[in-house]
Amino acid sequence: MRHLTIATRESRLALWQAEHLQSRLAALGHPSELLGMTTKGDQILDRSLSKVGGKGLFVKELETALEDGRADLAVHSLKDVPMELPEGFSIACVMEREDPRDAWVSGRYARLQDLPPGAVVGTSSLRRIALLQALRPDLRYEPLRGNLDTRLKKLDEGQYDGIVLASAGLKRLGLHGRIRAVFEPEEMLPAAGQGALGIEVYGQRDDVHAALEPLGHLPSLLAVSAERTVSRIMGGSCSMPLAAFAVWHGETLSLRAAWGDPDGKAPLIRSEGAAAVHAVADAVRLGETVARELQARVGSGQ
């Protein structure tokens, strides 16, 4: 195996993820270097992603580097990867998932339930807004963009009474202490792929696939495949308040999905299913079943 180049965003969390992959590859005898890049998603901070192009803004520049040969692979937070990849691109590896839950972060309030009516909560995720509205419709939900450190700084400056972030990012950066509480999936269903790292490649790269194979985690791959199938069928994007989360019970994969209204004018619509899952095709079928049920319920307003 020749020297590999890993394309990555330049935020502290993205670099942690890339360096984590780099160290795992090095342990297998595959030397690599990082190609740091700034994406449009990192540059546009004054508007929500749903208004400026969605999740693809975080991966397009990295994919260009793969396509023109400047990089051999790119590491992504899988929840930021569009459900449909451009022709020639593929997710070659899904590594073992970190904590997929959402985290409550606040300097003053230990739990969301402790906030007084009218308090300000920061998040730009329509999924989180819809689910938070179902829990606390009496609060104000304000946009919060930027990398993890920027969001924490805005909280510390007093712009918000509390914010909601992914537990995985906080834990990966050693910021466990900022987590005041975690939202269990029963109260706030995670986004499809949340907490999982996906490694993207371009073209027939059998050499890269072979290098990555020992790093793949089949239970995580199957779970996120089911979740991402729900998002793909529902047309999941940053402009859609959609959640999908799968959890293992032995060899049975249980999948739940939720569709919400970020304005809080309609109740959450949910669907769920379970099946014995042994391969990606099984996970996709489960995702299709749950997505079709959710579509029917959304269509009927139930």
Q: Residues with Cβ < 8 Å from 250, sequence gap 6 or more?
A: none
Residue 149 CA to residue 147 CA, distance in Å, equals 6
Pairing of strands 4-9, 73-77: parallel
Spatial CA neighbour of 31 closest among 64, 72, 68, 59 = 72
Tokens of 162: 């509390």
Measured CA distances, 82 to 112, 138, 150, 200 (Å): 30, 32, 24, 12
Q: How many CA atoms lie within 13 A of 211 on its CB side?
A: 27
Spatial CA neighbour of 96 closest among 199, 190, 222, 217 = 217
Residue 45 CA to residue 25 CA, distance in Å, equals 33
Active site residue 261: no
Active site residue: 80, 99, 102, 161, which one? 80
In this structure, which amino acid lies at residue 64? T
**Which residue's structure tokens are 């593929």?**
90
First-last CA distance in the chain: 54
Spatial CA neighbour of 130 closest among 257, 291, 254, 279 = 257
Residue 2 CA to residue 131 CA, distance in Å, equals 47
Q: Please state at what angle helix 148-156 crosses helix 12-27, rounded to 10 degrees.
A: 140
Residue 69 CA to residue 73 CA, distance in Å, equals 10
Query: Are the C-beta atoms of 270 and 254 separated by less than 8 Å?
Result: no
Q: Tell me which residues are annotated as active site.
A: 80
